[in-house]
Amino acid sequence: MTELYSFIESTLIDTFLQLAKVNIITGEFQYLKQDFEIKNDFEGITNIYEYMKKFVSEKYVFPEFVEEYLKFSDPEYVQKKIFGGERIIVYRYKRKTSNGGRWVIFSITAPKNSSVDNPWVVFGLRDSDTASTALTNAMSALSVIYHKILKINITDDSFEVIKTANYEMPDKSLSKITDWLRVFAETGNVHEEDIDVYSKFTEIEHIKEHFRKKNTRLSCRYRRKHIEGGYRWAQMDILPDVDYSDDNASLLLFVKDVHDEHMAELRHRQELVDNFNRDALTLLYNRHRFNEDLELLNNNMPQLLTCLYIDVNGLHELNNLLGHQKGDDMLCCVADTLKIYFPEEKLYRIGGDEFVMLSKTLTKNDVERVIVEVRKTLAENKYEISAGAESSIPGISVYKTVGAAELAMRKDKELFYKNKSGIRRKRSVNEELEKLLTEKRDAEYFLKLIAGSYAGVYFVDLERDTLRYLYIPEYFKNILERTSFSFISAMGIYAKKYVKAEYYDEFIELLDKNFIFKKLKKDEIISYMYKKVNGTVMRLKILKINENSKLKNETVWIFSSDESGI
């Protein structure tokens, strides 16, 4: 039996780098096995707690583990653990060696009868095995991510600190997790606006109820006080420990900083909301936001509210004659001009050519003075607007104020078309058209057809499926409006309704842009004759714009009646 005991003792001792019998009250210790690699650095030290402090000062412990390691150099901390009933305490850390560093396991082992009268325990140090090393590496990685890691038990309201900063260590009198979490918030560590959310989340009954229903992670975000001042967003996660059961509700509590991530999410959400409330073309607020703001203003009547209502003159004509891009340019110019003259006010595009400005600071007279300058600036770009302004009257809804401003705009528009401004605008559009025709050499095609009768003349961009027209019959204009001015879709409707059945398939073939471009490469003009359902013989000519034009995908479509028949 003696040989067996000797064998066991020698085998156990061989697994340790260092063993010592320690009095945890006085700090006295006796070596059972000494680590000769570091023996010379610690000669003459007779107190284990001083030994451990010197172990740190000599930099045998890697910096990220110093804080936790030094807890074991505090006699009160060790005594509380052992005299409180713990028989084995284990801590893994990375230790400096002559070859760099290695993971080791520090342990304190106490007999069952440990007490103030019998304060002797064994301090041991051994290499970490492969499994322990893997676990330690995982915990080390978690320690980098998480600011605080606790093991809590909501059955007995206890907790064990795995990781936390020294300045956040709970008062030694706080032995219950509920008390620590409560005091943490009450002492200013949680932003006052988040205290209700934090307190509800950390209620033991709330946590119990959650894990009774489902065994899944419980998360909460709140702002916690930062050591350098101010508050940063943090996330607390609670999830079941491996030994969790209804009778032993053991959980892990993690806290990590998510401030940068959270702020990025908030910015992204705001961008989505902002995009939803913005007009895609002008980037002013849209009608949806306008309606929301009016409702809010009407429910919280401001002392002053002035509305400016604007309608852009000639947009419809410009779109029809010069194309929608020219119309878009006009709208953007108006929007940009309003931004310059009303930089602090809310601006909206609420319809195709309608704009609104709302102000809580400017009076009707202020706005009317500014709008004079707005008109001058727009006139430099050959654009004109009709405008009306109105300020609120106490007790009158904001909707009536907006309505009054719109009515004033309508009266201004009537005056515009009664005087020569409307004529000048039409002449200006015609001059632009003539210039555009000349630049694109469209005029030569138009001149070819004016000698005979014609039923429609269109400049069609086949890639964008858009058109400009020089002449359009009313019925085809109605078809275009139904198809949101899609030329190909409109021609499809035209073919079904007006083209005789025997010509339908060939006519539809002409609506294929690839077919058209292929034909136009061979011939300068595509000429096609067909009959309408009423017997009228029609001739369609398709010509390509000059290759030197910037709009190489634009074609000219000329429809005319043919008296010679087919």
The 3-class SS string of 249-295 reads: CEEEEEEEECHHHHHHHHHHHHHHHHHHCECCCCCCECHHHHHHHHH
Strand order in the sheet with 456-461: 466-471, 456-461, 554-561, 537-544, 525-531
Question: Could you give the residue ranges of the DSSP H alpha helices within 499-538?
Answer: 501-509, 513-522
Q: What is the pLDDT of residue 533?
A: 92
Which residue from 511, 518, 535 is spatially nearest to 460, judged by alpha carbons? 511
Q: What is the pLDDT of residue 249?
A: 82
**b/e map of 143-176 (b: 16 or more CB within 10 Å)?**
beebbbbbebbbeeeebeebbbeeebebeeebee
Which residue from 521, 526, 515, 514 is spatially nearest to 556, judged by alpha carbons? 526
Q: What is the pLDDT of residue 467?
A: 80
Question: How far is residue 505 from each of residues 135, 177, 447, 488, 511, measured CA to CA in Å?
Answer: 75, 81, 31, 15, 10
Tokens (6 digits) for 320 = 């029809």
Calpha distance 48→106 (Å, rounded): 13
Calpha distance 321→315 (Å, rounded): 10
Q: What is the pLDDT of residue 392?
A: 87
Q: What is the pLDDT of residue 543?
A: 84
**b/e map of 330-358 (b: 16 or more CB within 10 Å)?**
bbebbbebbeeebeebbbbbbeebbbbbb
Residues whose CB is less than 8 angstroms from the CB of residue 477 and which lie 6 or more positions away in sequence, other chains included: none
Calpha distance 323→316 (Å, rounded): 10
* Cβ atoms within 10 Å of 270's Cβ, excluding its own: 10
- Domains, the chain, ordered by start: 2-132 (3.30.450), 146-262 (3.30.450.20), 277-424 (3.30.70.270), 441-561 (3.30.450)
Which residue from 396, 402, 317, 393 is spatially nearest to 356, judged by alpha carbons? 402
Say whether pTM exceeds 0.95. no
Q: Kindly tell me the burial class for residue 555, based on how many C-beta atoms sit within 10 Å of its own C-beta (0-12, 13-18, 19 or more).
A: buried
Strand-pair partners of 103: 94
Helix (H/G/I), strand (E/B), else coil: 375: helix
Q: What is the pLDDT of residue 85?
A: 85
Q: Which residues of the chain have pLDDT under 70?
A: 1-12, 39-40, 129-145, 166-167, 169-170, 172, 243, 271-275, 316-323, 419-454, 470, 546-552, 562-566
Q: Do 457 and 471 touch, CB atoms closer than 8 A?
A: yes
Q: What is the pLDDT of residue 437?
A: 45
Residue type, 496: K
Helix (H/G/I), strand (E/B), else coil: 346: strand
Q: Do 514 and 493 touch, CB atoms closer than 8 A?
A: no
Look up tokens 């809804």; give the residue. Answer: 397
Helix (H/G/I), strand (E/B), else coil: 359: strand
Helix (H/G/I), strand (E/B), else coil: 472: coil
Q: Do 409 and 367 touch, CB atoms closer than 8 A?
A: no
Task: Read off φ and ψ for residue 436, nearest 5 degrees.
Answer: -65, -40
Tokens (6 digits) for 518 = 């292929």
Show contacts of 324-328: CB within 8 Å, 24+ apart: 324/466, 324/485, 326/432, 328/281
What is the CA 63 to chain-centroid distance, rounded? Answer: 37
Calpha distance 460→438 (Å, rounded): 17
Residues in the chain: 566
* Cβ atoms within 10 Å of 322's Cβ, excluding its own: 19
Tokens (6 digits) for 158 = 């206890």
Q: What is the pLDDT of residue 1?
A: 46
